[in-house]
Chains A and B, each alone.
Chain A
Amino acid sequence: GNSVTQMEGPVTLSEEAFLTINCTYTATGYPSLFWYVQYPGEGLQLLLKATKADDKGSNKGFEATYRKETTSFHLEKGSVQVSDSAVYFCALRSYGGSQGNLIFGKGTKLSVKP
């Protein structure tokens, strides 16, 4: 079946450090891929998405490239800020039949220290 695996947290970085959160997936067909962010006590916000191979999603300095050959969608940011502290979820959405639901990884908690 379809699944998402992302690196275990927590991840602790100093401000301005480089961030990578790994995400790999298993899916039939050609899924769409998403990164969502969850700040403490809040729901999920879409961070970025990509819908086909080699697409790069980007937002707020975060980037992720849809790599079909390695079934990966790693999240990167060149210089993190304290305000980036949150839990990050990688998700896929496969298509077929009447299903369009999201399948999430377990989440990676990021803490950025000043």
Chain B
Amino acid sequence: DAGVTQSPTHLIKTRGQQVTLRCSPISGHKSVSWYQQVLGQGPQFIFQYYEKEERGRGNFPDRFSARQFPNYSSELNVNALLLGDSALYLCASSYSGTAFGETQYFGPGTRLLVL
């Protein structure tokens, strides 16, 4: 079975631009979460979606938004890019998103560089 897929793998943008990152969860998984991993740090939670509804939001500015589609794939949008948005953006999928002990499976990430 295919794992979590993300596109694009790499992206270079300039300050002030907007970016859209895409994620396809494992087949059968209904929840998608997004994380930001700055170089040398652990991933930080951005959003969680389940059945197209936002279930959780981390401490990120309103420039960050996301949505989930009927096929459970998801997009993360970041507006007005700042240099500090340069990071690896990870998508994780799970069946329900909140079941006790449930594992989140991560994709390979999209590496965003803002110049």
> In whole Å, how far is A32's beta carbon from the nearest beta carbon of chain B?
5
Cβ–Cβ contact A98 & B98, under 8 A: yes
Interface size class of B (residues with CB under 8 A): 20 to 34
Bound complex: CA A104 to CA B48 (Å): 16
Cβ–Cβ contact A98 & B106, under 8 A: no
Q: How many residues of A contact B (CB 8 A)?
A: 24
Does B42 belong to the interface (CB within 8 Å)?
yes
Cβ–Cβ contact B45 & A51, under 8 A: no
Cβ–Cβ contact A106 & B41, under 8 A: yes
Pick the most buried of B48, B55, B92, B101: most chain A CB atoms within 10 A of its CB.
B101
Given contacts A43-B107, A44-B106, A46-B105, A101 and B100 within 8 Å (CB-CB): no
A contact face: mostly helix, strand, loop, or mixed: strand
Kindly list chain B residues whose C-beta atoms are within 8 Å of the C-beta of A91: 42
Which of A32, A36, A46, A98 lies in contact with B56, CB distance below 8 A?
A: A98
Bound complex: CA A3 to CA B31 (Å): 23
Cβ–Cβ contact A45 & B45, under 8 A: no
Bound complex: CA A44 to CA B108 (Å): 7
Kindly list chain A residues whose C-beta atoms are within 8 Å of the C-beta of B35: 102
Does A42 belong to the interface (CB within 8 Å)?
yes
Given contacts A44-B90, A89-B42, A107-B42, A101 and B56 within 8 Å (CB-CB): yes
Chain A contacts to B: CB under 8 angstroms: 4, 32, 34, 36, 42-46, 49, 51, 89, 91, 95, 98-107
- What are 25 residue pairs bridging A and B, where the CB atoms are less than 8 Å apart in the complex? A32-B101, A34-B103, A43-B4, A43-B108, A46-B105, A98-B56, A98-B98, A99-B48, A99-B55, A99-B56, A100-B31, A100-B55, A100-B94, A100-B99, A100-B102, A101-B58, A102-B35, A102-B45, A102-B92, A103-B45, A104-B42, A104-B43, A106-B40, A107-B41, A107-B42
